[in-house]
Amino acid sequence: MRYEARLLPDRFPDRTNRPIALDHARAPYAEALQRYVTTIGVRAGVPGHLADPDRGLADLLGGALAWDIPPLTDGIDTEPDGSPSALDAARALAADAWGARRTWFLTNGASQGNLTTCLAIRHRGEQIVVTRSMHSSVTDGMALAGLTPITVMPHVDPIRGMTHGITPDELDAALAAHPQAGAAWVVSPSYFGAVSDIAGLANVAHTHGVPLIVDEAWGAHFGFHPDLPTNALRRGADLVVSSTHKLGGSLGQSAMLHLGHGDFADDLGASIDRALPMTSSTSESSLLLAGLDLARRDLVTRTDRIADSIASLTRVRDALRADPRFAIATDDVTDDRAVHAIDPLRLVVDTRGTGLTGHEARHRLFHDHGVHIEMSTDAVVVALVGAGSHLDEQRLINAFTGLPHGTARDVIIHPLPEPGDRVLDLRTARFADTEIVPATEAIGRVSADSLAAYPPGVPNVLPGEAITAEVVDFLIASAAAPHGYVRGSLDPEVTVLRVIRD
């Protein structure tokens, strides 16, 4: 496919009014780094390794070490005459590729995007409506910004314990009950590849006069092939946090924050500009920035490779469907009202027909077959392939079919307990004086921590909420289950909890 360059009005008017050429076959930031490497003969500045080939880092990274350069380098992220830099051009290309008005590159992961967004929306009001399956960095960001969450419980598969999203009706009810809320924040897709009805959710949010923020960490690749779901920006979202490294092909810890084109764009864009320096390093990694630039180029220009990735996982699913021990757990989840589409680059396999829980199957796949699987629950394993990446599908199939033939077993998925009432605002609770008490003595006290049992990973208690007997029983039972895990717990058995000191 041939890509012709075109001009785009500058997206960074504080720097220059000159237009930026858009040519998706190019990677302007990465190309500028390459020019730097081939033309600079002496480096007498930071970083201190100076790309020295005799250092241990060079043994690990090879020639990539030379690409690790300091910020504010002419020809890369600055230009002496104030014209758009290579970094400006890379961000403009990314905005165009994802359909954003503006895009910011992040070198501290999508977590940085979540922290920045929390700080940026605080002026809109203290309360936000948010899906309770939010990432832990959102909880941290709300505490830093002084936001109070109005949480909406996501749909949870009662058989397999998989979390999905929420429906427009559920968001509508929450916003109607809390008209003072300044924003709505949802998670889509879920860890299991379930995509929410973003267009419907955006319409509800806008009807209530608030922007829709989407944690699309697991959907950075959406929209780059006809067989992939449409991305959240093109479905009406106002601000999207995208963990580009997950399935988009950039390096770990690199991500993007995208601004939509709607009525909130001016307000949100200015707020992001003010908040981002509070969460950014002044020495951002040039390697991570270059990786984002190259990932965008490959997503746009190599749709044939994305098609190969989709076809490869399709063949794996078909092979496992032919084995009666396995079930593809996403085959029927669209019956759930909160699931609008499924990401085809996610492989969710129910392993209970082998006699193994998902955790046990994941352990055996790794140690017996050398196959690393992304995650597991009591009932399923979740594998994935990045958009455009090559998968050794036959080895993956052989590893699954090489699992033992055991007796099929049921796994009890305990229903999530209702969270306790909010007693203190999140920020006050997060920074209050605390003490650690036995779990049974914490009942009726106010939690200082966030705790979430896996599966399904939905926070069972947040800072500032009352700890109930049902929550304590659920956490202890979850921790005691085979391969049970409670994120945020002070000890593996949840024998003690951190509470606000009376």
pLDDT tens-place string over residues 406-457 = 888 777 777 889 999 999 999 999 999 999 999 999 999 999 999 999 878 8
Note whether 168 and 196 are within 8 A (CB): no
Distance CA 237, CA 241 (A): 11
Q: What is the DSSP letter of 178?
A: -
What would the two tokens of residue 189 be? 């897709």
Of 368, 401, 434, the one marking the end of a domain is 401
Q: pTM for this structure?
A: 0.93
Beta strands in 33-147 (DSSP E): 102-106, 127-131
Q: What's the total number of domains in the chain?
A: 3
d(CA 219, CA 51): 35
Q: How far apart are CA 94 and CA 224, in angstroms?
A: 12
Q: Taking all residues of the chain, what is their mean pLDDT, rounded to a whole number? A: 92
Task: Output the CA torsion 27→29→31→36 (10° steps).
Answer: 180
pLDDT single digits (tens) 94-122:
999 999 999 999 999 999 999 999 999 99
- Between CA 94 and CA 100 the distance in angstroms is 8
Q: Are residues 361 and 319 in the same domain?
A: yes
Q: Does 249 lie in the same domain as 123?
A: yes
Quick one: how many helices (H) and strands (E) in the chain? 15, 20
Q: Is residue 25 part of a domain?
A: no
SS3 category, 5: coil
For residue 489, tell me if it sits in a domain. yes
Tokens representing residue 474 in the block: 């659920």
Q: What is the pLDDT of residues 371-416, one digit of tens each?
A: 999 999 889 999 999 999 999 999 999 999 999 888 887 777 778 8
Are residues 469 and 385 part of one domain?
no
Which of 35, 31, 211, 45 is closest to 130 using CA atoms? 211
On whether both 311 and 374 belong to a single domain, the answer is yes
Q: What is the pLDDT of residue 41?
A: 78
Structure tokens at 427: 């920020």
Which of 401, 435, 463 is the last residue before a domain boundary?
Answer: 401
Q: Name residue, tokens 């055991």.
A: 406
433 and 324 share one domain: no
Same-domain pairing of 241 and 390: no
**Does residue 456 sit within a domain?**
yes
The 3-class SS string of 354-386 reads: HCCCHHHHHHHHHHHHCCCCCEECCCEEEEECC
Tell whether 396 is covered by a domain: yes
Coil, strand or helix at 301: helix
Q: Is the pLDDT of residue 269 over 70?
A: yes
Cis peptide before 226 (omega within 30 of 0): no
Residue 228 sits in the same domain as residue 188: yes
Q: Do 109 and 251 belong to one domain?
A: yes
Looking at the structure, tell me whether residues 371 and 480 fall in a common domain. Answer: no
Considering 6-20, 152-166, 262-276, the range whose residues carry the highest mean pLDDT is 262-276
Q: Which residue has the higher pLDDT, 357 or 483?
A: 357
Mean pLDDT of 137-142: 96
Rounded distance between C-alpha atoms, residue 35 and residue 72, angstroms: 15
Please give the residue range of the domain that contains residue 460.
426-500
Answer yes or no: is 207 within a domain: yes
Main-chain dihedrals φ then ψ at residue 414, nearest 5 degrees: -75, 135
Same domain, 133 and 188: yes
* CATH (domain of 157): 3.40.640.10
Return the pLDDT at 18: 58
In this predicted structure, the answer to whether residue 490 has a pLDDT above a threshold of 70 is yes
Domain identity same for 313 and 367: yes
- CATH number of the domain encompassing residue 379: 3.90.1150.150
% of the chain surpassing 90 pLDDT: 78
Is position 82 within any domain?
Answer: no
The verdict on 468 and 339 lying in the same domain is no
CATH of the domain at 442: 3.90.100.10
Out of 254, 285, 316, pick the residue that ends a domain.
285
In a domain, 392, yes or no: yes
In a domain, 110, yes or no: yes
Token pair belonging to 35: 């020019």
